[in-house]
Amino acid sequence: MPVIMCVGMLMQINPVQANDIAAKDAVSTISIRYKSATEFVIDLGVHSCCYIYQDSVKLYSKRQSAEIFAEALTRTISHTDEYFGDVEIYREQAFYSVKTKSSTGHPPPKRFDMVIEYRACADIGICFLPEQKTLRIENPFVFE
């Protein structure tokens, strides 16, 4: 089992490439790296032109029986907006550790849909419509 976990930590499963995402998006890639039956890491790749507002990032499960607890692993950068003042943003990448739990007391869910929301702007002074993407989580460490 530890060997499988190490392999899981090294490989990236279910990568979503930039071409799959709407071209007018600050996020270039979204990758999921499964670490164990109850934990995975989400990696948002951010285009060099753009940044994401930390307080806009939300991750939640679409399945009621699959609870998730997300924690940011990336340090934010302070940014001053003319109108909103001092805010925290992500550039280049944003990692989130996501822990899963079954709300029904059963083993952790193998598959469920997770939603990621974020709001981003580009340095040229334009902002993009708030994004909402659904990712299919299919944890290889959970056996049915």
Partner 1 sequence: MKAFPKISHLLIAVTALVAVTAGVILSNPEPAMDQDAALIAQRAIFTAPDGERFSVESWAGQYRIVNFWATWCPPCLEEIPLFIRLQERFVDNNVTFIGIAVDKVDLVRSFVEANGVNYPILVGSGDALEVSKIMGNYRAGLPYTVFLDPNGVILDRHFGVVPESKIAKFVAKILK
Q: Is 141 in the site for partner 1 (CB under 8 A)?
A: no
Q: Is 58 in the site for partner 1 (CB under 8 A)?
A: no
CA pair distance 82, 132, nearest whole angstrom = 26
Instruction: Kindly state whether residue 1 participates in binding partner 1, applying the rule CB under 8 A.
Output: no
- Type and span of the H or E element at 96: strand 93-102
Task: Kindly determine how many residues on this chain lie close enough to bind partner 1 according to the rule CB under 8 A.
Answer: 16
Q: From the CA atom positions of the chain, what is the Rg in Å?
A: 16
* One character per residue 2-41, x = contact with partner 1 (rule: CB under 8 A): --------------------x-x-----------------
Asked if 131 contacts 120 with a C-beta cutoff of 8 angstroms, the reply is yes
In angstroms, give the least distance from the CB of 24 to partner 1: 4
CA–chain centroid gap for 20, Å, is: 16
Q: Which chain residues interact with partner 1 by CB under 8 A? A: 22, 24, 81-84, 119, 121-122, 124-130
